[in-house]
Amino acid sequence: MSKIPYENFSLFKPTREPNVFEVDLGKIILVEDLKVGGYTSFFKPDIAVVSEGETKEEAVNNLLSTYIDVLNAGNCFLKLKIKKILPK
């Protein structure tokens, strides 16, 4: 997966909120941690995938990468269940 520079976030659908970006999966929300620094990113509606990064770019890239990993893990789990049900 290629990295997405923050300037290219304009490719996502703009919203009225400065740290919210519209994508096909829903909205990506960025929350800045003022005490520790960095950003937390997650999808809305909640897809139960949350990630963090020191910059906005890193937070979004980590979120998208984590989402892909979750999909791949689910796909592997599904294949294992099918193999168990339908042996060769």
16-43 per-position pLDDT tens digit: 777 787 777 778 888 988 888 999 998 8
Looking at the structure of the chain, the number of domains it has is: 1
State residue 6's pLDDT score.
Answer: 58
In-domain check, residue 81: yes
User: Higher model confidence: residue 12 or residue 22?
Assistant: 22
Q: What's the rounded Cα separation, in Å, for the pair 28 and 49?
A: 11
Q: What is the pTM of this model?
A: 0.66
pLDDT at 82 over 70: no
In-domain check, residue 24: yes
Range of the domain at 61: 6-85
In-domain check, residue 1: no
State residue 53's pLDDT score.
Answer: 94
Which DSSP string do the residues of 55-68 spell out, in sequence order?
Answer: SHHHHHHHHHHHHH
In-domain check, residue 68: yes
In-domain check, residue 74: yes
